[in-house]
A and B are shown apart, each in its own frame.
Chain A
Amino acid sequence: MNKPYEAVGLTEKEYKKIIEYLNREPNELELNMYGVMWSEHCSYKHSRALFRHFPTSGEKVLQGPGENAGIIDIGDNLAIAMKIESHNHPSAIEPYQGAATGVGGIIRDIFAMGARPIALLNSLRFGDIEKSERVKYLVDGVVAGIAGYGNCIGIPTVAGEVYFSDSYNGNPLVNAMCVGIIEHDKIHRGNASGVGNSVMYVGAATGRDGMGGASFASVELTEESEEKKSAVQVGDPFMEKLLLEACLELLETGAIVGLQDLGAAGLTSACCETATRGEGGMEIDVLKVPRREKGMTPLEVMLSESQERMLLIVEKGREYEVRKIVEKWGLHAVTIGKVTDNGRLIVREGDKIVADVPAYSLDSSGAPKYYKDYEEPEYYRELKHLNPDALEEPKDYNDTLMKLLTSPNLCSREWVYRQYDHMVRTCTVVKPGSDAAVMRIRGTKKGIALTTDCNSRYCYLDPRAGSAIAVVEAARNLVCSGAKPLAITDGLNFGSPEKPDRFWQFREAVIGIGEACRELDTPVISGNVSFYNETETQAIYPTPIIGMVGLIEDIDRHCTMHFKDEGDVVVLLGETRNELGGSEYLARIHGLERGTVPRLNFGLEKRMQAFILTAIEKGLLKSAHDVSEGGLAVALAECCMEKELGVEVSLQSEMRADALLFSESQSRFVISCSPEVLEELQKLMEKQEIPYGILGKVKGKELKINVNGKNIVALNVKEMKEAWRGAFECYMK
């Protein structure tokens, strides 16, 4: 027979630690509470030790990791709250609800800080869409789930990414990010402060849905996972809209000492976390918790992950005032307990004590912490080798470029974002489809730019370099919009930390992110770790998704990637090297996922980014776009799409044309400017030591690329755009 601790996912050693904390054996409820709280999902027991590699502070950081969300200052007493979170396993078996509740959960994290949510982003990864009907089903369900929740609650979904790779065949990734705005003096935290203050419960009633979701997220997916559908919660965005408005109104009263959303591990987690951050103790009565179903046991009430619920710590004596506001929004608020300072989390069922444990011992501060073994996997050195000369050179570059532009990873995402309301709240200045979304901050001249980024093929081939590139590429997206990068939130999606090669990937990635964030001065202010993203046969590519926010001081000075006017001069900033390793061209055209990932030079990168920002601020640029997946040729094509403007560029090089066109060398940008400002721009580039080459002009209806005097690409922009726009829908059929 299985040991009782094994059933809740704990080891014998961990069980002994519980006995040490309690000086006795835990009862069933207590054991289950430890089981969920000490799961990887809640405790970060395998990952926490590595977070010292992250820079997490800075003069603009108002709240770093450890709270519901991170907060970064944008001046004028305003700040941005943000966080990313994964909902991978639920989405793998129930795509609509899995994705929808992922969105719901991350929104609660933002308004739990007192911030008004203003934007949603998402980063999605799926298996091979060309081979698998299941993948189409997942894409359809996940996108509809995100749309269903975000559209209803009225928060625009403004940016994100979707990528496909075999490595996600059995385990898709669904990461949702939410961004909110808050005044400095209105920041709230999940603190249960003030002995005797009331613990109130607001929102949906508690049901049996989502039982053990946190534990479910902390094991690998198996054939039997389908049967765990009951671990997937069901979302009600209308309820959440009411909850959101009620909570923000409540915070205005000053009666709220702290608030916390009931997410993973439900009441158990909310109680012990708020208690630990506050006076240290709490006492609640499960009989007072509103229920959806009859006959629920204390265990079910404490572990339920029913959605759309919040825990409020209310100043004693002001419960009536709170109840009135909550009732105005058609919800109920119930007092379920009180704040204590005896260090215990005591759960009662009426007069009977059903659990009594030290509150901090459940929380991550009391959970075990592991330093796992890591080992460089064999593939790492083996895959570095690539002989680009041995690749067959394309005979028809028009055909090759079209193949790339209509490939699942590079074609237009319009099919996806057309389903998201990306305009509600009328603050979306740059809509999906450019490098980053740009939102105005109402009532100010300011704006923010938002993006998510991660090239997981790079991260597989070289987790440290690939992760650093994810950070700098996110920053490039913002800079091209005219925004100064401020901070990141990271969604770290990996395989099992208990396997040394997977843990090596994780460790390398954390170090890479840390290094890049220090170089760019963009601290990590919040994040999420999702391990065990693997099936019996395969682990996902390491996928550290970087969500980044940047500040635009003058919203009228923002920029987009699209060419604007005929006659504008097109310039390439940066140097193109023969760096096809890990490229989209290599994968799509030659079926190879190998090679050394492009080299990143932080010094050059920082000069480039500073230059782009200055040039946009001075109003010199008409467009700016970073060169990434697909290389220069794809970047040029993308600049042509929106206004259907052609371009003719001429390149001189010793390199083979495929390397010249499709190499993914870092720190490169395609910019355009009017001919009148070219001289001023050149002076500035020379002053700031920016390598550049003038490529040609925006003109006509064709994308034309000449190499060493010979035309090798000539594509009608309108036709190219139609194929690129329609491709996603074709894959979905």
Chain B
Amino acid sequence: MKFGVIVFPGSNCDLDCFHAIRDVTGHEVEYIWHDDEELDGFDCIILPGGFSYGDYLRCGAVARFSRIMDAVKKHAAAGKLVIGICNGFQILTEAGLLPGALVRNKNLKFICETVPLKVENNDTPFTRLYQKGEIINIPIAHGEGNYVADEETLKKLKENGQILFTYVDNPNGSMENIAGICNEGRNVLGMMPHPERACEELLGNTDGRRIFESIILALEGKL
């Protein structure tokens, strides 16, 4: 089993995702340069947080043209797992792998703090180890995490159980308190909160770990 963490120019949570996989879960993980073309041999791809291409123009708007994104799309189309965290979520929406968009926080400021999330659906490869309705604490760190989508999209997300995490106290103005969603195929997850920052006792929080552990169990075919 092998994880891949994509490094765009301006990614800055690549290291954190890498360590969460290698040092906390003990699984194999490699960095993948944005200019590469192949994702053969990887089981789960992580698009990390950061400010890809400086987030100039719009968050994720330039990164979606990176050469590796064609491979990410193929990987997703084949039903393999993709997780986009923070800027990674923004890139996934820009690339059309997830619906909706992320706009500036309602208070127009960057917000970094640990916030409570509600697990809305645990019937996905990313959330199996949580209880439905469970409240978990995960850090957020973003200036543009305010999720927006048209009514029809929101309706579909709800009906299909694609909303996986919602904010308990909405910090950024997201519609339907959305913190994380998946695609219809349930193999692509995008979330603004950072589970990789909540994997170790030393850092005071392990609530994020079960996302990676759920993925591992799913890849091992145990769920």
Contacts and interface: CB of A to CB of B under 8 A. Distances in A.
A329 B9 contact: yes
Contacts of B9: 238, 241-242, 329-330
Contacts of A242: 9-10
Given A144-B109, A238-B10, A419-B109, A429 B202 contact: yes
Interface string B127-146: 00000000000010101000
Interface stretch (B69-77, B110-118, B162-170, B175-183): B110-118
B16 A422 contact: no
User: Interface SS of chain A: helix, strand, loop or mixed?
Assistant: mixed
A241 B112 contact: no
B112 A237 contact: no
A449 to B, nearest CB: 15
Contacts of B53: 238
A152 B202 CA distance: 25
Interface in B4-58: 9-10, 12-13, 15-16, 19-20, 49-51, 53-56
A352 interface: no
Contact of B112 (A144, A236, A422, A425): A422
Contacts of A237: 51, 54
Nearest to B205: A423
A154 B202 contact: no
B197 interface: yes
A23 interface: no
A419 B111 contact: yes
A428 B56 contact: no
B94 interface: no
B15 A421 contact: no
Given A238-B56, A424-B16, 12 more contacts: A239-B54, A241-B9, A241-B12, A417-B112, A418-B111, A421-B110, A423-B112, A423-B141, A426-B19, A426-B196, A429-B202, A442-B19
A604 interface: no
B78 interface: no
A154 B16 CA distance: 11
A152 B109 contact: no
A539 interface: no
Given A237-B51, A419-B111, A151 B10 contact: no
Interface size classification for chain A: 20 to 34
Contacts of B56: 238
A238 B112 contact: no
Instruction: Name the residue in A152, A422, A428, A429 with the highest tally of chain B Cβ atoms < 10 Å from its Cβ.
Output: A152
A284 to B, nearest CB: 29
Contact of B110 (A151, A329, A440, A556): A151
A420 interface: yes
A424 B204 CA distance: 14
Interface residues of B, number: 31
Given A423-B141, A426-B197, A154 B110 contact: no
A236 B19 CA distance: 28
A236 B51 CA distance: 12
A153 B202 CA distance: 24
Given A152-B51, A238-B51, A426-B196, A555 B10 contact: no
A236 B54 contact: yes
Contacts of B112: 151, 417-423
A255 to B, nearest CB: 21
Contacts of B200: 426
Interface string A307-339: 000000000000000000000011000000000
Contacts of B196: 426
Contacts of A425: 12, 15-16
Nearest to B50: A154
7 cross-chain pairs, A with B, having the tightest CB-CB distances, nearest first: A154-B12, A238-B54, A426-B16, A152-B51, A421-B141, A421-B112, A419-B110
A147 interface: yes
Nearest to B54: A238
Nearest to B12: A154
B197 A440 contact: no
A424 B141 contact: yes
A423 B137 CA distance: 14
Contacts of B111: 418-419
A514 B12 CA distance: 39
Interface in A382-434: 417-426, 428-429
A647 to B, nearest CB: 22
Contacts of B202: 429, 440, 555-556
A424 B10 contact: no
30 contacts: A144-B109, A148-B110, A151-B51, A151-B110, A151-B112, A151-B141, A152-B10, A152-B54, A154-B51, A238-B55, A239-B54, A241-B9, A241-B51, A329-B9, A417-B112, A418-B111, A419-B110, A420-B112, A421-B141, A422-B112, A423-B203, A424-B12, A424-B141, A425-B12, A426-B19, A426-B197, A428-B203, A429-B204, A440-B202, A556-B202
Interface string A228-257: 000000001111011000000000000000
A440 B23 CA distance: 14
A442 B203 CA distance: 12
A151 B110 CA distance: 9
Contacts of A154: 12-13, 50-51
Instruction: Name the residue in A242, A419, A423, A440 with the highest tally of chain B Cβ atoms < 10 Å from its Cβ.
Output: A423
Contacts of A241: 9-10, 12, 51
Nearest to A236: B54
A152 B19 CA distance: 20
Contacts of B141: 151, 421, 423-424
Instruction: Name the residue in B51, B53, B194 with the highest tally of chain A Cβ atoms < 10 Å from its Cβ.
Output: B51
Contacts of A422: 112
A240 B208 CA distance: 30
Contacts of A152: 10, 12, 51, 54-55
Interface in B59-89: none
Contacts of B113: 418
B53 to A, nearest CB: 7
A144 B139 CA distance: 20
Nearest to A426: B16
A147 B16 CA distance: 19
Contacts of A329: 9
Contacts of A426: 15-16, 19-20, 196-197, 199-200, 203
A149 B50 CA distance: 12
Nearest to A442: B19
A44 B91 CA distance: 48
Interface in B154-194: 194
Contacts of A147: 109-110
A717 B173 CA distance: 30
A423 B15 CA distance: 12
Instruction: Name the residue in A236, A426, A429, A440 with the highest tally of chain B Cβ atoms < 10 Å from its Cβ.
Output: A426
Contact of A429 (B13, B109, B203): B203
A428 B202 CA distance: 9
A653 to B, nearest CB: 38
